[in-house]
Chain A
Amino acid sequence: MFDSSFIKTYLKCAGSAEQTRSHFQMAAQTQTEPPMTSTNDDLPYVLILKKPPTFHYFGDHSFDSPKYHLLKAYESPLPLPQFLLAHAQSVQAVVSTRGAPVTADIIHLLPSLRLVVTTSQGLNHIDLSECRLRGIAVAGAGTIYSADCADSVVALLIDVFRKISAANRFVKQGLWSSQSQPQYPLGSKLGGKRVGIVGLGSIGTEVAKRLEAFGCIISYNSRKKNPFVSYTFYPHVVELAANCDVLIICCALTDETYHLIDKQVLTALGENGVIVNIARGPIIDEKELVRCLVQGEIGGAGLDVFEHEPHVPTELFGLDNVVMSPHNAVFTNETFEDRRKLVVGNLEAFFSNDPLLTPVSLDDQPHFSGELLASLSS
């Protein structure tokens, strides 16, 4: 490839000798690497930035398809920008899984990019404005997580109200039979409680449907009032909190919702109030939440997400009215299989010029700042 005539032509066209040298150096580096995109067919390339959780559970061939080749950036020793420059210039689609943001910088290094497929419910790790600018389509998770998320909400809520985890610990430590008057502290009835849902999207709607069957009274706060539901709408979260016994966070993390649940909201919720968060940790001012819980200023919490996962404030570990889970609201065998099928399905549809299974509309997306994005990538 680098024969003498090429070199002569290159030297004529290239700029300074120094520039030329550095180009050669880079070329030499890429020459020593095994080629990653050499095939004889016309199949498009799909880039995977980080090893997907799906591969840990179902193996490295979980996303394989006869309709495309996979390019695994994480298998290369090169830093990502260099890898993209060297190998991903013809990549048409990128699969973004948890912990793999698709920033404007990355998009700039992918000139052939036409599709981003994400397996995350939240979209705050993708620079959607940049995608809109470049005409890059985005395929999301659709509603595959909604049932599991809603189930987790109800599980956490019943656990907090009825002390299931705490009582299970009590029995398994042998404390029930060792008591002279065996009576465990009473819980609180779920039926009739006023439940306020923050974010009445697909997950919030599934939560409402379930809790109605338990006799809960549903109200909500959302960016816009939904004319098709009969639940009471509160335009401000503080008002919602003041009128509810339970607050459930089901909204996306954006600039507007960062620390949405602050001291004012928690105070409005009150000392018998319970908060459940299966959305994103940073939606709640965690320091303030911990303080309220430790001092008994709110009644309890069910938390699947935290501001600095996997670090969890240790002050919570001694509290029986707090139930925690390790961001696994959607970690079921069934949903992971559905997710695997969805990724392959979206990619195959795209390359067959069929409509995406779960397209994300880029028109009505909330804004999120580059700063927020950067903080989430670390």
Chain B
Amino acid sequence: MESIGVLMACPMNTYLEQELEKRFNLHKFWTVPEKSAFLTTHKNSIRAVVGNAFAGADAELIEALPKLEIVASFSVGLDKIDLAKCKEKGIRVTNTPDVLTDDVADLAIGLMLAVLRRLCESDRYVRSGKWKKGDYKLTTKFSGKRVGIIGLGRIGLAIAKRAEAFSCPINYFARTEKPEIKYKYYPSVVELAANSDILVVACALTEETRHIINREVIDALGPKGVLINIGRGPHVDEPELVSALVEGRLGGAGLDVFEHEPEVPEELFGLENVVLLPHVGSGTIETRQAMADLVIGNLEAHFLNKPLLTPVV
């Protein structure tokens, strides 16, 4: 298999690079100075692309690789892959579901607690020596707060299960109501926001869900409401979110993703009711290893003509 060309779209995991180098002819796209020349040179040998949440396989790249057979994403989200184009050309697509569900859900709850209980600010208060002068102020209790989940897939359900352990009533919005689920369904995101203390984005990014968090939703969530985004940056109308937070029209936010990562609006840096993370939803040693093994497993299966482990297309 060592002659099979695999193009890795961006740096994502050293272990994955090493393992792919053992099995294939790995090309690291980010080290290439002249990308279009490179593609012209190697277009007949590259049969697989490995992408992630930052870079995948758009129409342009797919068109430039006539021998492309499979796109394996080091992520569960598929928004960086032109799925329609892949379907059209018979290109297989795989992702890394399930193995990262727990970590992402853990982080969502961690963000809720950090924002409501001002944990990062409390830590800062201690480190600055201010505790010697007086107590930190009162914060907001998390247990019992109404949690509204947008998207009740694997990650949404895992968030719900955790929040239930804190006696949080669970509400949700999804493309269709799920009658077998005991949580309360709201037919629109605005209504969900109006009836939740904490709103968390846990759905896939598609054309329909782009800017699903807009001004109207933010207003409905209100000056005591908290937004948690562990989905994708473009789920949120970022300038609207920033002005709502700066003006105090939204109570707080915990954000792991942004519209133009790694750029983060600087107006948020000084806000004590906002916690910002550098897209670490699945960022644990254990989970990234499991994700890497899935990518390798899917590629191996494909080139050995065996059934794919986690196919999407």
Contacts and interface: CB of A to CB of B under 8 A. Distances in A.
Nearest to A333: B138
B110 A164 contact: yes
B138 A186 contact: no
Contact of B114 (A164, A176, A190): A164
A155 interface: yes
Interface in A133-175: 147-148, 150-152, 154-156, 158-159, 161-165, 167-172, 174
A189 B286 contact: yes
Contacts of A210: 162, 165-166
A153 to B, nearest CB: 10
A24 B92 CA distance: 100
Contact of A331 (B139, B144, B262): B139
Contacts of B125: 326
B141 A158 contact: no
B122 A325 contact: yes
Contacts of B283: 162, 184, 186-187
B247 to A, nearest CB: 19
**A contact residues, range:** 35 or more
Given A151-B117, A176-B262, A184-B283, A326 B143 contact: no
Contacts of A171: 264, 269, 276-278
Contacts of B135: 53, 326-328, 331
Contacts of A336: 138
Nearest to A211: B165
A55 interface: no
Interface stretch (A79-87, A220-228, A309-317): A309-317
B185 interface: no
Nearest to A184: B278
A311 B144 CA distance: 33
A159 B110 contact: yes
Given A156-B119, A179-B262, A191 B106 contact: yes
Nearest to B269: A172
Contact of B287 (A174, A182, A189, A213): A189
B139 A332 contact: yes
Contacts of B113: 151, 154-155, 158
Interface residues of B, number: 57
A256 interface: no
A191 B266 contact: no
Given A188-B285, A189-B103, A312-B131, A154 B138 contact: no
- Central interface residue in A158, A323, A336, by most chain B CB within 10 Å: A158
A154 to B, nearest CB: 6
B11 interface: yes
Contacts of B131: 309-310, 312, 326
A332 B136 CA distance: 11
Nearest to A331: B138
A10 interface: no
A332 B138 contact: yes
Contacts of A209: 165
Nearest to B11: A181
A183 interface: yes
B278 A170 contact: yes
Contacts, number: 184
B88 interface: no
A336 B10 CA distance: 50
Nearest to A311: B132
Interface string B112-152: 01100101101111110001100111111111100000000
A155 B120 CA distance: 10
A165 B287 CA distance: 20
B278 A164 contact: no
Contacts of B55: none
- Central interface residue in B106, B107, B111, B161, by most chain A CB within 10 Å: B106
A311 B131 CA distance: 8
Given A156-B119, A162-B110, A312 B126 contact: yes
Contacts of B167: 147
Given A155-B117, A162-B284, A189-B103, A335 B164 contact: no
A60 interface: no
A324 interface: yes
Nearest to B268: A172
A324 B123 contact: yes
B69 interface: no
Contacts of A327: 135
A295 interface: no
A156 B120 CA distance: 10
A286 to B, nearest CB: 14
Contacts of B286: 188-189
Given A154-B109, A214-B106, A326-B125, A159 B119 contact: yes
- Central interface residue in B117, B166, B288, by most chain A CB within 10 Å: B117
Interface of B: 11-12, 102-103, 106-107, 109-111, 113-114, 117, 119-120, 122-127, 131-132, 135-144, 161-162, 164-167, 261-264, 266, 268-270, 275-278, 280, 283-288
Instruction: List the 9 shortest-distance A-B pairs measured between CB atoms, nearest first.
Output: A158-B110, A213-B165, A155-B113, A325-B122, A334-B141, A147-B143, A332-B141, A310-B131, A189-B286
Interface of A: 53, 57, 147-148, 150-152, 154-156, 158-159, 161-165, 167-172, 174, 176-177, 179, 181-184, 186-191, 209-210, 212-215, 309-312, 317, 323-328, 331-336
Given A168-B275, A189-B287, A334-B140, 18 more contacts: A147-B141, A147-B143, A150-B143, A151-B166, A152-B117, A158-B113, A164-B107, A165-B120, A176-B261, A189-B284, A189-B286, A191-B102, A213-B162, A214-B106, A214-B162, A323-B123, A332-B141, A333-B141
21 contacts: A53-B135, A151-B166, A154-B109, A154-B113, A159-B110, A162-B103, A165-B120, A165-B124, A169-B124, A171-B278, A176-B261, A177-B264, A184-B283, A188-B285, A213-B161, A214-B109, A311-B132, A326-B122, A328-B139, A331-B135, A336-B138
